Chains A and B, each alone.
Chain A
């Protein structure tokens, strides 16, 4: 009887562990395959326009003739800056962690400008926060918005809906003026 109770307890612990592991790791692992595929094709810390087929897969609710630009950022070795230079009109920019968490989002009306900078950096861990508050160190903030990511990798997504499919090419061309790359500090 005691042995059966023991194994039932073991089974319960295994169930809780499997539940937590599935929720925490399986969706991220599945999605990381998609990220890895895009990284192989375009690299990290570069801004590119998503092909229509990829756009349909990643954002099935958004119209196919809109333009979606993406920067797969990696802040492991330092900050990354997204310097958006978008054509006038309606757009939405969203910064996601690679776990799908929305870190920051802004649309054209909230921004007030079609050209802006978003500085991305790694959120400090607990020890780093203690050290920073002791040393009075603060991350450098340039002109624009600063987003700290809890994950080393993520996606910056710019979506620009269009009234006419014929506008896709010129708008994509105009959006290509957006830059994504390592943040250059003033001392460099």
Chain B
């Protein structure tokens, strides 16, 4: 009886290790730096590679559809350009650093349910450009002059960049935005 109990413990440990390793691989497989910068990371490119099954699983576990392969690109940032974790207690300036694609958006993502408020997304159509054509967006928990992204009061957040290619053109590797921390209590 004791022998079987010991064997059962081995099987249970094996099942738990298998499920835990699957979860860890789903969360980490296919995540790469978007371009040369460490600021933005992307798993969307993994949708067409060897790790596609894990990358798709990541999106489905979140209850959402993956971005349309070859059509919409995505990248996320958890830190500012200096490597500090993004938190709603600070104020940030997100500035475009190069040519922008045909359509793009930057959304605030928190761990809670997705907000249906339009202030959590800035995109091609809603952002007012500077005189030189660049885009400057203020991310903060309180209303800001100019383009404002509401980071809410949830604490840590992630910025999600989405972009759509023009016709048959390919998208550039890295999102053309940097994130600067302006004020932190």
Contacts and interface: CB of A to CB of B under 8 A. Distances in A.
A19 B22 contact: yes
Given A17-B18, A161-B123, A30 B61 contact: yes
8 A-B pairs with least C-beta separation: A18-B18, A14-B14, A11-B14, A22-B22, A27-B60, A15-B18, A61-B162, A109-B167
12 contacts: A12-B14, A20-B18, A27-B56, A27-B58, A60-B109, A61-B161, A63-B125, A64-B116, A64-B121, A99-B56, A102-B66, A105-B71
Interface stretch (A74-82, A90-98, A125-133): A90-98
Contacts of A96: 65
Given A61-B107, A92-B71, A157 B65 contact: yes
Contact of A61 (B7, B67, B70, B126): B67
A26 B57 CA distance: 8
Main secondary structure of the interface of A (DSSP, over half): helix
Contacts of B166: 109
A15 B67 contact: no
Interface of A: 3, 7-8, 10-24, 26-28, 30-31, 34, 52-53, 56-65, 90, 92, 94, 96, 99-102, 105, 107, 109-110, 155, 157, 161-165
Nearest to A33: B63
Contact of A19 (B21, B70, B71): B21
A56 B105 contact: no
A158 to B, nearest CB: 11
B10 A8 contact: yes
B80 interface: no
B113 interface: yes
Nearest to B110: A60
B109 A11 contact: no
Given A18-B15, A19-B21, A31-B60, A105 B69 contact: yes
